[in-house]
Structure 1
Amino acid sequence: MTIREVAKAAGVSVATASRALNGLSSVTAKTRAKIEATARELNYVPHSGARSLTRRQTDTIGVILPDLFGEFFSEIVRGIDLAVQGAGKNLLLGNMHGSAEQTGQAIRAMRGRVDGLLVMPPHSSAETLDQALTHGIPAVLLNARSSDGATPFVAVDDYAGARLVTEHLIERGARHIVHIAGPASNRDARERERGFREALKEGLGITDPLVLPGDFREDAGRDAARYLLENGTRFDAVFGGNDIMAVDCMAELREASLTIGSEVLVAGFDDIPLARYVTPQLTTVHSDITRLGAAAAELLFRMLAGETPDAQDWLVIAPTLAVRGSTAGGFKPGT
């Protein structure tokens, strides 16, 4: 069914049918109602490509993430999708797999297909990102900032969150806290490690804590636990750079017959749904990932509506601490 057939059945011109179905005001209410009723009777579905050429809009938002694996990214997408669906628009997902070259390719692939972009580029240089974004497509960054500070962003305060959880472990009596870091090229990972180090320095005077390498994936948590156990490392708490690593580290420590929450404390970051369903439940930094995605989408919609948000409209989400069983017991310093 085409718009020509709708126009013929409604007894109007193709131009009038097009204006009515595209919501333009140059059609009387009576004529619009007749055309819309005819379109429903004929089960007419507008061709998105033709409509975008006419209106120069696609009603589609592009989302480019460094990965689509895991609950962290699924929660971000869930938040974005809630906002996008509420606005009556569509969502187009892409990923860049981390490299600067692939970031540019992913953004270029979206041109002409979307009205605006949401981009999370933790592995990409600011210079590469700036070059890729300077082509007239409105964009909002997630957990990143452009080198000139001109691109709007929404971010979680990773540094403050890491300080919160490290201070909590110290308050619980931990004195030998190990951190499993994320990828060195990842901005979130660097900020979380920085918060951990500074909280330890201020709280315990420790300037050279044990930081084990990780990549935000499950095996890194198990590898870290095995390293600690096999090398006889003295530790009483582990702060995983994200929940996935913390959960897998906790599982490995339990298999070694350590009691989580009393013999050793374990905490994570992000508060993905899994954190509430492991045993014991994981203490973690609640960074409100769903809100991160939704807030970024809503900021982009304002830009598409013609607004020019200034820096006061950009959002840094303050995390909170979700204290659960994995740090429930605590112990006296020195035990």
Structure 2
Amino acid sequence: MVTIRDVAKAAGVSVATASRALNGMSIVTAKTREKIEAAATALDYVPHSGARSLTKRKTDTIGVILPDLFGEFFSEIIRGIDLVTHRAGKSLLLGNMHGSAEETAQAIRAMRGRVDGLLVMPPNSRADTVEAVTRDIPTVLLNAQGTDDVTPFVSVDNYAGARLVTNHLIDRGARNIIHIAGPANNRDARERQRGYCDVLAERTGNGSPLILPGDFRDDAGREAARLLLTSGITFDAVFASNDMMAVELMSELRVAGLQIGSDILVAGFDDIPLARHVTPGLTTVHSDITRVGSTAAELMLRMMEGETLERDQSLIIAPTLAIRGSSGGGAGTART
């Protein structure tokens, strides 16, 4: 393996001078720098990241800690982050804490000294579970709003999105709209349920909507469909708190002989890529998941450059509605 000593010897300079040049320090003359860089290129020298980080006190790496690393929702978040960080020449270090506050703290501690900043999606979208252990490292919260007026964040207006989709189902003629909830302790799920309940009360006078339990996982959608099919409950539409539950619900209802988009209207939330490819296409709240990741990464890069961000530089993304066949919207996609 080629070392910096080999580069220094080939360029005819000291190891210290070669190190300064390759780390971008201005005290090396342009002529000497060119000679050292040419030697490094000729020898195919690759700097040792650990040694380089000690010299620069930077790792050029951003830590990303998510409740899960599997599924299209999290893949889209990571894709948005990578679009920005790759362009900036930074690396990503991914961590998974399985939705546990204790594992989140462990993941944060494990990344200390290995990253220049953190992008964290707190368990159940609760910022207070991570703020205490991220105060001494630049941090941007994903899908959660900070409680300390200091930590910047990027989140989606879940309440507004749920209102959009519930109003849409009512406009399509639905009156008996079932909601499949997300995890009871998840802030996003609670806001989606609240938006649904408020619209039903305002437009139909229904103060006691029917809400089925769910947990954002696909099997919850299947279980909800089976319950609806066997219980005798009257319903003409279902709003699932995320797309995965909605997709599996549609599959079960189709097997039972129901026509999605005519017999029963179905809608979800998030607009994961799968929502566009199922048949019929799933009407859903487009929360711009990729933008959540890319905007958070942009904020982090600014913090890594030494900028102090104010709370008003955080972003709450206003969702739109992607109307597709599952709500009788036709084969294409219309945005509102």
Q: Deviation of residue 82 (structure 1)? A: 0.7
Superposed CA offset, 1:196-237 (max 9, x none): 111111111111111111111110000000000110110000
Q: Deviation of residue 125 (structure 1)? A: 5.1
Give TM-score, length-normalised by structure 2.
0.96
Note if contact 2:142-2:296 (Cα within 8 Å) is conserved in structure 1: yes
2:106 maps to 1:105: yes
> Where do 1:1-335 residues align within 5 Å?
1-123=2-124, 126-134=127-135, 136-328=136-328
- Partner SS state of residue 123, structure 1: helix
- Structure 1: runs of 5 or more not aligned: 331-335
Q: 1:126 and 1:79 mapped to 2: Cα distance?
A: 21
Note if contact 2:160-2:195 (Cα within 8 Å) is conserved in structure 1: yes
Q: In the alignment, residue 175 of structure 2 is paired with which amino acid?
A: R
Q: 1:193 and 1:122 mapped to 2: Cα distance?
A: 18
- Partner SS state of residue 141, structure 2: strand
Q: 1:49 and 1:240 mapped to 2: Cα distance?
A: 47
- Structure 2: runs of 5 or more not aligned: 331-336
- Partner SS state of residue 130, structure 2: helix
Superposed CA offset, 1:280-324 (max 9, x none): 000011111001000000001101111111122111111000000
Change (3 A) 1:95 1:50: same
- Partner SS state of residue 68, structure 1: coil
Note if contact 1:122-1:144 (Cα within 8 Å) is conserved in structure 2: no
Q: 1:148 and 1:142 mapped to 2: Cα distance?
A: 15
Note if contact 1:61-1:92 (Cα within 8 Å) is conserved in structure 2: yes
Change (3 A) 1:40 1:329: closer
Q: 2:227 and 2:22 mapped to 1: Cα distance?
A: 64
Q: 1:168 and 1:126 mapped to 2: Cα distance?
A: 31
Note if contact 1:65-1:120 (Cα within 8 Å) is conserved in structure 2: yes
Q: Deviation of residue 15 (structure 1)? A: 1.2
Q: Deviation of residue 329 (structure 1)? A: 6.1
Q: 1:249 and 1:168 mapped to 2: Cα distance?
A: 19
Note if contact 1:98-1:124 (Cα within 8 Å) is conserved in structure 2: no
Compute the RMSD of aligned alpha carbons.
1.2
Q: Deviation of residue 145 (structure 1)? A: 2.2
Q: 1:4 and 1:13 mapped to 2: Cα distance?
A: 8
Give TM-score, length-normalised by structure 1.
0.96
Change (3 A) 1:143 1:125: closer
- Which deviates the most, 203-212 or 144-153? 144-153
Q: In the alignment, residue 254 of structure 2 is paired with which amino acid?
A: R
Identity %: 72
Superposed CA offset, 1:56-92 (max 9, x none): 0000000000111210000000000111101100000
Q: In the alignment, residue 83 of structure 1 is paired with which amino acid?
A: V
- Partner SS state of residue 316, structure 2: strand
Count of aligned pairs between the two proteins? 329
